[in-house]
Structure 1
Amino acid sequence: MDRADMGTKGSGGACGVCGGRTYLIERQGDLAHARICECSVQCKVCGGRGHVLGQQESTFSKKVGPRTYDVLMPCSCTLRQKRVARFNAVGLPGVVAHSSFDNYIPAKTQQDKARSAAMHFAHHYEKAGGNKGFVLSGPVGTGKTHLLAATLAHLVLEVGVGARYVEISLLYATIRRGFQEGKSGGEIIGPLSEVEVLAIDELGKGRGSPFEMETMDELIARRYNAHRTTLFATNYSLEPERKATRAVAGYHSTDDAKTTLREAELLRERVGERIYSRLCEMCTFVELPKDTPDHRRTRHELEPRGHHAHAKIRATGR
């Protein structure tokens, strides 16, 4: 049953709050949280029973042939509740609770291509399987996590797909804490290996320690071997080879040198040949230009200076 069924058969209609989706996504603490809109809490179709009477055609006797029978079927409100509960288990950060394809504003043409790639994946996802994921690469603040969130929200709430989101460095931290509690890394990686669609953010981030490399390799290997769909976002270039760079004359600070060196790093170098090779088969690569502006920094710089001063006074209590 798709969203049209959920909206028209439920009590949402053309609600001015949810726009007929029958659910809302809000920030609740550190996570994005979905809930049923007030317009659909009381289902007008089933009266709160959770099921409706429908018809089903079956053949129990070749002599009699196909017959139509009345059967009890789950109401759309039951499906809606299950999808909302499933979304709340995804683990999306609260900061991207309101992220959607509609409110993603590209600053460059290539950004629009990234949105188109994510939208095409989400709207053409086949539940039967065989879906190729994508890797979004680009500088910080260019909306990669925004697109991951929009994709997962559509898949879970509109298509009914099971999904999870993980930020790679937080996953490493979770596994380390698990070690202290007597858990193995496999106990934490196991559920992530089996989920239908997994989004891994900040791929390549970390110190590149043996623990981190082994964890990442095991997770991606499990999903690769099981033919499961995985989405990625990274700040590192997807280019297969490092491009030659010319030294620029003049004074440069140590920080400038470090930034230049970091920007020149390739995802291939950060994750190793084995993982990179699998990514090439598992995903479509989409790379944003290095000069794509950081929308958070741009928004900050466009705000009136008085706003910053007021915020600082309010934060310090002066």
Structure 2
Amino acid sequence: MAAKANGEACGLCGGRTYLIERRGELASARVCTCSVDCPVCGGRGHILVQKEGTFSAKMGARTYDVLEPCVCTLRRTRVALYNDVQMPGVMAHASFDNYRPFNEAQDRGRGVAMHFAHQYVKGDTAKNKGFVLSGPVGTGKTHLLAATLGHLVLEMGVKSRYVEISLLYATIRRGFQDGKSGGEIIGPLSEVEVLAIDELGKGRGSPFEMETLDELIARRYNAGRTTLFATNYSLEPERKGARSSAPSGYRATDDARSAMKDAELLRERVGERIYSRLCEMCTFVELPRDTPDRRRTRQEMDAPPPLGGMRNPGR
């Protein structure tokens, strides 16, 4: 932990030795000014460490010196790894500490994400089961993905990536115009140790989108790699009476289309093959449909009182 001369933690980074800031569309990390000049190695980037080992029974145990990366080198490496995550800039300050649950389900969601992050075993795919967060818009799903990846990368040095699924589809389509194949773009996402896929199920459900999603998840599933998901679609195994069939040629209103979307299940959006794999790859967490939209709640609380009067403090 970085500290001031008087022993207090740095007022900028709080002792973390790094800062995360919003730069344009992405979140960006940098080494805090309190830790730029390393007092441990003097800027060399490595330190001499004395170790003990037995090379033969005749010689017995002997001590020897080896060069190891200094903590400042590890810090710079992890900051660079974070800047490869491609985290949205709006999530630059997302953490487990500033996530505010409105109900028990949200609290459980935070608990699942925190347990995953703090109990993660680097490189041990068998012990690192991912999770799926399902819930309405504005309920903090992306916040928890960002907090999880931030901990994995900056505190543990785990190579991770974030991708919003509809933006991935758009990136691949643009790649086609430049002569790139979808596999060239999917390849790095297939190989990264931890991948967070946001807005799972979003899109038109075209053959191109379904094939892309299937290939990405199949590659990660077959390799035993850990994947995290967030979706607005329900994980409920069945919802009696939720679906209604419309007459042929019926043109739904915006409200009707929205209601139909709310009634859709994730397994209907991604297909049985992908959904079956998610069941094996992840822990499921469903936030109730009536969970408040955090963004709308914040906007309503910050809104000025109506003209000609004051808010009723009792409401």
1:250 alignment partner in structure 2: none
Query: Which residue of 236, 245, 262 maps to 2:233?
Result: 236
C-alpha distance 10-195 of structure 1, shift in aligned 2 (>3 A): farther
Say which SS state the counterpart of residue 244 (structure 1) adopts: coil
**In 1, distance between residues paired with 2:111 and 2:18?**
24
Deviation at 1:304, TM superposition (A): 2.7
TM-score of the two chains, using structure 2 as the length reference: 0.90
Q: Offset of 1:179 from its aligned partner?
A: 0.4
**Correspondence list, 1:138-287, <5 A:** 138-245=135-242, 254-287=253-286
CA–CA distance in 1 between the matches of 2:243 and 2:118?
Answer: 43
Gaps of 5+ in 2: 245-251, 307-315
Deviations along 1:27-51, one digit per CA (max 9) or x if unpaired, are 0110000000110000011110111
User: Which one-letter code corresponds to 1:32 in the other structure?
Assistant: A
The residue matched to 2:176 in structure 1 has which SS?
helix
After superposition, the Cα gap between the structure-2 partners of 1:116 and 1:42, relative to the gap in structure 1 and judged at 3 Å, is same
Tell me the residue number matched to 1:78.
73
Tell whether the 8 Å contact from 1:9 to 1:76 is kept in structure 2 after alignment.
Answer: no
Counterparts of 1:226 and 1:180 in 2: how far apart (Å)? Answer: 30
Cα distance in 1 for partners of 2:243, 2:96 equals: 38
Give deviations 1:237-293, integer Å, cap 9, x for gaps. Answer: 01122332499xxxxx93322221110100000000000000000000000000001
Q: Deviations over 1:154-188 (max 9, x none)?
A: 00000110000000000000000000000000000
Does the residue aligned with 1:26 lie in a helix, a strand or coil? strand
How far apart are residue 10 of structure 1 and its match? 12
Seen in structure 2, the aligned counterparts of structure 1 residues 304 and 191 have a Cα distance that, compared at 3 Å, is same
| Correspondence list, 1:271-310, <5 A | 271-305=270-304
User: Hey, which bits of structure 1, 4+ residues long, moved more than 4 A?
Assistant: 8-13
CA distance, structure 2, for counterparts of residue 184 and residue 128 of structure 1: 29
Q: Partner residue of 2:30?
A: 35
For the residues of structure 2 that align with 1:258 and 1:173, how far apart are their CA atoms?
24
Work out the CA distance in 1 between the residues paired with 2:54 and 2:3: 29
The answer on whether the counterparts of 2:220 and 2:226 sit within 8 Å (CA) in structure 1 is yes
Q: Which runs of 5+ in 1 are unaligned?
A: 1-6, 248-252, 308-318
User: 2:193, 2:243 → 1: CA distance?
Assistant: 45
Deviation of 1:16 after TM superposition, in Å, equals: 1.6
RMSD: 2.0
Q: Separation in 2 of the partners of 1:246 and 1:42?
A: 62
**Per-residue deviation at 1:306?**
7.2
Q: Percent identity?
A: 76
In 1, the alpha carbon distance for the partners of 2:219 and 2:101 equals: 34
Tell me how far apart the structure 2 counterparts of residues 9 and 73 of structure 1 sit (CA, whole Å).
Answer: 23
In the alignment, the residues of structure 1 paired with residue 284 and residue 98 of structure 2 have an alpha-carbon distance, to the nearest angstrom, of: 23
- In the alignment, which of 116, 119, 132 is matched to residue 114 of structure 2? 119
* CA contact 2:27–2:83 (8 Å) conserved in 1: yes
Deviations 1:77-131 (A, max 9, x none): 0000000000000000000000000000011111011000000000000113121
Taking a change above 3 Å as real, the CA distance of residues 71 and 13 of structure 1, as seen in their structure-2 partners, is farther
1:105 and 2:105 matched: no
Of the three residues 6, 21, 24, the one matched with 1:26 is: 21
Aligned partner of 2:62 in structure 1 is 67
- What is the distance in 1 between the residues matched to 2:238 and 2:4? 53
The equivalent of 2:134 in structure 1 is 137
State the distance in 1 between where 2:66 and 2:272 align.
Answer: 55
Q: Secondary structure at the match of 2:196?
A: strand
Contact 2:243 2:263 in 1 (8 A): no
TM-score computed with the length of structure 1 as normaliser: 0.89
Q: Which amino acid aligns with 1:168?
A: I
Once the two structures are superposed, the pairs formed by residues 80-99 of structure 1 within 5 Å of their partners are: 80-99=75-94
